[in-house]
Chains A and B, each alone.
Chain A
Amino acid sequence: MPTMQVFVRFNSHHSFPVDVDSSWSVLQLKEVLAARQQVPPAEIRIIFAGRELRDSFIIGECDLASHSIVHVVRGRPQLSVEAQVSSSSSQEPQSLTRVDLNPQEDGASASNTSHGAAHRHPHFFVYCKQQCKDVQPGKLRVSCATCKQGTLTLNRGPGSWDDVLLPGRIQGRCQSQGCQGTVAEFYFKCAAHPTQEEDTAAALYMIKSNTQDVPCMVCEEVSTPLILFECEDAHTSCLDCFHTYCTTRLNDRQFVQDATLGYTLPCPAECEDSLIKEVHHFRVLGDEQYERYQRFGTEECVLQMGGVLCPGRGCGAGLLPEGETRRVECVRQGAQGCGLVFCKDCLEPFHQGECRPQMEQLFGAENRIAVDPESALRSRWERESEETVRQTTKPCPNCKAPVEKNGGCMHMTCPRAQCRYEWCWLCETAWNRDCQGDHWFG
């Protein structure tokens, strides 16, 4: 008989491992625990994932994965709770592991889909950042919003993503002694491996099992899981293409800085109202690229708020200058800030009087920063890279960001999502009909 180990947490205190046989009934488990704790088996209750496990349940049918944490509280099983559970569905009470939060196309309610074909597919996915560093099937767990223990039994199971993601929608009753909690708090874990209690994972609700064998809109391969965009056409893409799409857009800084949603992307077909609302989906970029994504997002946010990014080498701190003065100081605060004092308008070291013409400034021979010995050592290389920038880029006439032209015509669009100024590479002015007709391609 297959055995497995579960962790038993007694009265919300210590937890200890117990070897259980999946053919056992819950009552048999209670007997083992009762002997260990020296209490009568009839006076303990076992709670797992939002429901009380009844004596007659078979452990192997309770969706207890190895190393799951079950909660044990003192007290007699409450008939009222049992009655609620048994009346809410068929003989087998619904387990959180089998809840399908995705609306079914045939109109069947979510709670009826725990049997049959849909059961073979994972219903929800998470990004596991602790171990797998990948998208994995997730498991849904619940705790009491008051005492944070997993001792809450649910009045009803969640039926939609909103039930799970929006706080306070599902009620229950906390069975911990002394806790009067009634509100459920859902969270997700990676289902690919045993998890510690604190190993929660972000739910990626746009990622779904490809139960309809829909081909990816980009590569046309049929694969599972896929990502379903929230556009009217319900476009889908495979995760590989979504990854490529995000990386391409990130490299070109073509994400959109939305005031409410943050730094995000629309459906690859650019459908209306299709911006990704849960930015954890960009976790699929992997740790390194996700960090870059966060940095770019912060920078765009600072710029959108009217701030500036410190031009000091390797600094880039976001600053929100106050008042009308052009003088901005990148104040040193602990590990942050480089001390550079610069002009808000031209991003050169601060100066009296008007800013010099742009090209001269950007690549002027003067020192850009107060030289310290270390950066002086690197100056040769820096000058070379500055030369590269000078040869391959021109400043956007609107926002002054150096823009590289890596092919194509003379019609430039500033790659900064907040700028998007259309200009001519040759004239360095706004794109106009003369440019279009006379030297579109140079």
Chain B
Amino acid sequence: MMASLPRRIIKETQRLTHEPVPGISAIPDEQNARYFHVDVMGPSESPFEGGTFKLELFLPEDYPMAPPKVRFMTKIYHPNIDKLGRICLDILKDKWSPALQIRTVLLSIQALLSAPNPDDPLANDVAEQWKVNESHAIETAKAWTRLYAMKS
């Protein structure tokens, strides 16, 4: 199974395992080495602090010419992430380049948690809240983090 994997994916996987990015873990699925179980810690001083967010990341056949497919599995209150966990991030679409990696994608997602961008929203209602009443939106985000992203 591993032998048929492109060397680039093998190397990226090794690096993710041996030199993990602080606050991020990405573990390949036992059955499918192109599918990763990802945990992203909510960045400190963000409404997501203290939460652990599960994501799934899949490397399509034409990776790295095509971007990985990433989705939040944990419910999250964020203007750039919709209720199905889909992420509005340029490098996952037309700004993708084969020079980017799983690592850079996950770092960008972590950065998106630190700096929500309500002017380029995916979840319109959330974005509206974020613009009209930011403190209330942050409270909601914190509440969702406690509710869905923390082990009781």
Contact = CB atoms under 8 A, between A and B. Distances in A.
- A interface secondary structure, majority: loop
Interface stretch (A14-22, A131-139, A214-222): A214-222
Contacts of A219: 6-8, 64
Contacts of B99: 217-218, 235, 268-270
Task: Report the contact-size class of chain B (Cβ under 8 Å from the partner).
Answer: 20 to 34
Interface in A394-411: 408-409, 411
A410 to B, nearest CB: 11
B115 interface: no
Contacts of B123: 437
A220 B88 CA distance: 28
Interface string A346-375: 000000000000000000000000000000
Contacts of B93: 408-409, 411
Contacts of B95: 270
Interface string B94-127: 1101110000000000000000000011111101
Interface stretch (A85-93, A180-188, A241-249): A241-249
Interface in A273-306: none
A433 interface: yes
A218 B98 contact: yes
Contacts of B6: 219
A437 B8 contact: no
B147 interface: no
Contact of B97 (A268, A408, A409, A434): A268
Contacts of A438: 124
Contacts of A217: 98-99
A429 interface: no
A413 B93 CA distance: 10
Contact of A437 (B11, B65, B66, B127): B127
A441 interface: yes
Nearest to B94: A413
Interface in A423-442: 433-434, 436-438, 440-441
- B interface secondary structure, majority: loop
Contacts of B82: 440-441
Given A219-B6, A268-B98, A440-B88, A433 B121 contact: yes
Contacts of A235: 99
A219 B9 CA distance: 8
A221 B7 contact: yes
Contact of B98 (A245, A434, A441): A245
A440 B94 CA distance: 15
B84 to A, nearest CB: 7
A441 B66 CA distance: 19
Contacts of B124: 433-434, 436-438
B7 A248 contact: no
A436 B97 contact: no
Contacts of A409: 86, 93
Given A245-B65, A441-B86, A269 B122 contact: no
B65 A248 contact: yes
B19 interface: no
B122 A440 contact: yes
A270 B6 CA distance: 23
A219 B124 CA distance: 39
B62 interface: yes
A309 to B, nearest CB: 25
Contacts of B88: 436, 440
Contacts of B98: 217-218, 241, 245, 268-269
Contacts of A245: 65, 98
Contact of A218 (B8, B121, B122, B125): B8
B121 A437 contact: yes
Contacts of A413: 94
B113 to A, nearest CB: 19
Interface string A234-268: 01000001001100100000000000000000001
A223 to B, nearest CB: 11
B50 to A, nearest CB: 28
Contacts of B65: 218, 244-245, 248
B96 to A, nearest CB: 9
Contacts of B62: 248
A433 B125 CA distance: 12
Contacts of B94: 413
A436 B7 contact: no
Q: Interface centre among A217, A413, A436, by most B CB within 10 Å?
A: A436
Contacts of A221: 7-8
A221 B64 CA distance: 14
A409 B88 CA distance: 10
Given A217-B98, A241-B98, A436 B120 contact: yes
A437 B95 CA distance: 20
A276 to B, nearest CB: 15
A441 B127 CA distance: 16
Nearest to B123: A437
In the A-B complex, the 4 residue pairs with the closest CB atoms: A437-B124, A269-B99, A248-B65, A219-B8
5 contacts: A217-B98, A218-B98, A220-B7, A436-B88, A437-B125
Given A248-B62, A269-B97, 4 more contacts: A269-B98, A433-B121, A437-B124, A440-B88
